[in-house]
Amino acid sequence: MSFLNRVWRNILYVNVCKRSQVSQKRQANNNLLSLVARMIKKIGAVLLICVLIRILTGCGDPVVWNNPHPTSESGQNILYSVFTERPKHLDPVQSYSSNEIQFTAQIYQPPLQYHYLKRPFTLIPSTAVDLPKVTHYDSNDQPMSDGATSDDIAYTQYEVSIKPGIFYQPHPAFAKSAQGDWLYHQLNDQDLAMVYKLSDFAIMNTRELTAHDYVYQIKRLAHPRLHSPIYGLMADYIVGLRDYAAELRNAERSLEGGAFLDLRKYFLGGVEVIDDYTYYIRIRGKYPQFIYWLAMPFFSPIPWEADLFYSQKGLVEKNITLDWYPVGTGPYMLTENNPNLRMVLEKNPNFYGEFYPEEGMPDDLENGLLNDAGKAIPFIDKIVYVREREGIPRWNKFLQGYYDASGIGSDSFDQAVQLVGQGEATVTDEMMVQGIRLETTVAVSTFYMGFNMLDPMVGGTSEKNRESARKLRQAISIAVDYEEFISIFANGRGLPAHGPIAPGVSGYRSGKAGMNPVVYEWVDGEAKRKSLQVARRLLAEAGYPNGIDRKTGSPLTLYFDVVARSTEDRSMLDWMRKQFQKLNIQLVVRSTDYNRFQDKIRKGNAQIFEWGWHADYPDPENFLFLLYGPQRKANNSSGSSANNAANYENAEYDRLFEQMKDMEDGIPRQQIIDRMVDILRHDSPWLWGYHPKDYGLYHAWFNNVKPNRISNNNMKYYRIDPLLREQKRREWNAPVLWPIMLVFLSAIGGLWPAVRAFRRHEKSAAIKSDMSPLI
């Protein structure tokens, strides 16, 4: 019996195991079916939500599907722009870069500005009542007549009168209690516990702009804790500024723990307040270009209250500084500063009294640039700058209408621009359909390759080899085809340079009169680059026939120093090697980081290098000084203020420069400039390179655009039509729902056979299980 019992138990165990396996399979199938059902439900839910949104919005606001901006901003009077590099300085005493001035020029107001529409560029008052009153003085401090010669002028005084009734933007530095005490000038840790940004201060206030604020800012140029890029130049001119800097350095040593250095306590003889609305600046000798500096943010007003407010240790530790939160009287104020994501300018509520210009150039009326003549500015309420590091996403968002303007990268040039007629650039049909227009202007800039004149091979450091080096430079100048460079690498956006002065600046000559006869010849009414035969003859005369050093029999090898390049720029460097190869010259590229490159330039260790210059102001002096002997960069005691990177020196050129720089525009000055340019062409210290053309694309709703890169405070003139923009965004970004429906139906169609198969398998397994015998 015990044996039969054991057999019976084993049979029961086997059948239980079979039923358990069937049950597990059935459960797995159920789980899978449940998962499939849930997937179908979720897909259906998503589709249903999408369809409901589409239905509920009445097909009226599809922009929400891909709009990168907050939906709350839709339809508002906002300009959307981009920036690629984060600004380092927003303090006007230190800020100098183009990626900074696009912000600072909208916030700060120097006494002068440029007329928005007139060309050539014309200075007009900004906060000033009129242009400064200029008076010359002799060595006895006696006023001189207007016809006085530069040699007799000891000082020049600029007297500036500003308009009353101009007020600063709301700011906590101006906040006072009911009793008249400053609320935020002595903050402790407890006061700052809940402060993380400027807007966390509960109370803001303002005050009127005075002449004292302009004088205070000029004093800040010499502040020992600040490093103004123009201090060296201004110290050479503004009377007493260098001594003032020494006095401030001594005063700072006596302060404890970085305490506030109150500049009001220290007297600067060359800059004084006459009354609350008038001040003067006295400079040494005669420097007519000084008036242009009065249109730059360096000479904008800074209130002492803001300087004291931002000097507090607790705020500095929280990065609440003037470099991060500017304070000005301009049309806009910075309300959001997240330089890794976005920066926002909003209309200054205290700004008023400025109007759109009522006159311009002859074609401005035809181009619609005078439609807003005489109207109060600014027109736009807010400017949103979004940081876009990549060109393709930026370009696509522009085409979708989410950015109002765009530059044109090389990869999108053919899509955007076509050449018609005599090479005139215009937008393609695709752009025209969208209402996009092209605006072009020649930048007041120059890009060039420089020869280090201290290098014995390309510069000629001795009388014996100086002539040889000059002919070598001339030969290379002919061989390097900048017309081809502009066509390939700039998409035609540039003019070959015949000298250092850019178009649009007095002293520049065009046509045959402006041709460089060393490199070009005049053929059939245009300048044509000389042949390679001429270049090879010059190379042989220099001692390198067919690129072989006659003395050593070795191939001529030259060195091109550049800042480290990306892989995309390799083709440009390869092209440059091929240009030298035309003369059988071996060009070796020496790539290094920016700091090392700067160090090599400062020490005069480079041989051939590339450089560029954008004018600070529209005067030929601002280009010709780049080759003025005392401005040599190598081992120059003036340091960063020296700009003659080629270390070029010519006694006649330097004498003419000193004569020209103090002259007013006119025929005598033009004659001197022509001679200076002839000297430069003959000596060829640069490959003259090209003057770039700025191309910009603008949507139909973006109005009052007249591009230029001299006046930077242009945002106040622009106008946006937000209703037209919203309409176009809807047209261009309407969502297409049928692919979603197709995906949903395809998913159901693909899953349904699987569901049916699992059901059949489950039913079959259940039948087999029921037929299994139980003993």
Q: Which residues contact 54 (CB under 8 A, 6 or more apart)?
A: 62, 735, 737
The CATH architecture that domain 445-694 belongs to is: Roll (3.10)
CA distance 114 to 436: 28
* Residue 445 pLDDT grade (very low, low, confident, very high; cuts 50, 70, 90): very high
Judge contact between 163 and 130, C-beta under 8 A: no
Least confident of 472-486, 586-600, 686-700: 586-600
At 16 the pLDDT is 45
Q: Which long-range contacts (CB under 8 A, 24 or more apart) does 523-531 make?
A: 527/496, 527/498, 529/478, 529/481, 529/483, 530/478, 531/478
CA distances 141 to 153, 155, 159, 300, Å, are 10, 8, 16, 28
- Residue 31 has what pLDDT? 57
pLDDT for the residue 30: 57
Would you list the domain boundaries of the chain?
A: 2-61+735-763, 445-694
Express each pLDDT in 751-775 by its tens digit: 667 666 656 766 665 565 555 544 4
Please, which pLDDT band fits residue 55 given cuts at 50, 70 and 90?
Answer: very low
Structure tokens belonging to residue 33 = 């079916």
675: part of which helix (H) or strand (E)?
helix 667-683
As given in the structure block, the two tokens for residue 662 are 């103090």
Q: What mean pLDDT do residues 494-519 have?
A: 95
Q: Can you name the residues that pair with 333 across neighbouring β-strands?
A: 346
Determine the Cα–Cα distance for residues 769 and 21; give it in Å rounded to an integer.
10
Q: What is the pLDDT of residue 495?
A: 95
Q: Poorest-confidence range of 35-39, 109-113, 226-230, 234-238?
A: 35-39
Rounded to whole angstroms, the Cα distance separating 446 from 624 reads 12
How high is the pLDDT of residue 56? 46
Q: pLDDT tens for residues 620-642?
A: 999 999 999 999 988 766 544 68
* Mean pLDDT in residue range 451-458: 95
pLDDT for 17 equals: 45
Tell me the C-alpha distance between 549 and 558, whole Å.
12
User: Is pLDDT above 80 for 6?
Assistant: no
Question: What percent of the chain is modeled with pLDDT above 70?
Answer: 86
Whether residue 103 contacts residue 87, with contact meaning beta carbons closer than 8 Å, is answered with yes
pLDDT at 173 over 80: yes
Average pLDDT over residues 345-364: 96
Average pLDDT, the chain: 89
- In the three-class reduction of DSSP (H, G, I as helix; E, B as strand; rest coil), residue 589 is classed as strand
- 319 torsion bin: left (phi>0), alpha (psi -120 to 50), beta (else): left
Beta bridge partners of 386: 82, 342
The terminus-to-terminus CA distance of the chain in angstroms comes to 16
Residue 655: CB atoms within 10 A of its CB come to 13
User: For the residues 286-313, what does the mean pLDDT come to?
Assistant: 96
Model pLDDT for residues 528-585, shown as the tens digit of each residue:
999 999 999 999 999 999 999 999 999 999 999 998 766 668 889 999 999 999 999 9
Residue 583 to residue 542: CA distance in whole angstroms: 12
State pLDDT tens for residues 469-502: 999 999 999 999 999 999 999 888 999 999 999 9
d(C-alpha 622, C-alpha 618), whole Å? 7
Under 8 Å CB-to-CB from 193, ≥6 apart: which residues?
A: none
pTM, two decimals, is 0.83
